[in-house]
Structure 1
């Protein structure tokens, strides 16, 4: 499913659960559910959540600046060593070609997305915040390096997310943080990607076998129509729950 569909389904699922279980709903709950609904796709550098954390234009600028900086450094080091302008220029030119072929935009995005969470984990640790916050951030820092729809889309990732959120909930006294966060995260997997043709590896890393309950391809016209219909169904369920209350 598309990122905006995952986000919508996650929010609607939390609202529906709140109505059925009589859990107070707030703006924080909505924002929480929106974030966790798209979180599994952090393993994809071009996903909605990846772009939310680091805009593509920004990472492209960083890539260019990095390449220029590396080559400037190489040129001055080379000319200092051999004191030959033409040879240094040739070395720098060859280096540009090699670096541009190896240092890709996707790779650099993964590096910076990971650094965002690693630095956040370090900052939280330094200000003496409970270790579970840092562990959660470190876990997220590994997501950009995972194969798309692997561990982050598995049952085990959902269990770990719940455990860490539960510890954070106990520390912060934020009511229903673990339940609503995990519900929204699970909606991405069990109300979304499970119904796509490519499916998801539910028991990864024990098994990489993919399970699928659907046959539609993400982004296709038929898929987009089904996504809209499913969202409308969830909206109808919410309206019914409100009327029933």
Structure 2
């Protein structure tokens, strides 16, 4: 009987301690310290820990922070977001988003370029822009660059002129366009082409202006079955 009573007392004591332990984690002695944290400090801290603790308190006291600070998170926009997509070849959930981008792009304000690179000009410019990587694709994968409709781009960066155009990869063997080079896809679907001075050769750079997807270009070079 006595043993049973002792056991009950021990169980009761343990239960009370557990409740106190849990409660101590919600009892704040200071704005940043709970009773449980304080107890752990006294049990585990060495002299060096206490010195470091006091130093941190001093630094915080000298550099107070407002409790109302708000952190603004900027929306991350992918660089690829500037390229228009073929809405007939994307997932249904992407179509609505793409149509909204087209609506905001104000394509009706674009002016079709009268001075523009031809296929050979665009291909040569992209060979230089890719530091010769395109040469291997042209020779070994039998690919040529075809350029579509171009639009005047006011972002000339001090050059004589600048136009934005879609390009297409045309497979000479298959007599059809293909999505990307075999292996590493280092090409984009559209580029800016510019002439540093009047009559100069065309150079290429990354696209800086959103332009419509060139359906006519793809239709022109699609394989005929």
TM-score band, normalised by shorter chain: under 0.3
Higher RCO (CA 8 Å, separation ≥ 6 residues): 1
**Higher Rg of the two aligned structures:** 2
Q: TM-score, normalised on structure 1? A: 0.19
Q: Determine which structure has the larger strand proportion and give its number.
A: 2
Q: Determine which structure has the larger helix proportion and give its number.
A: 1
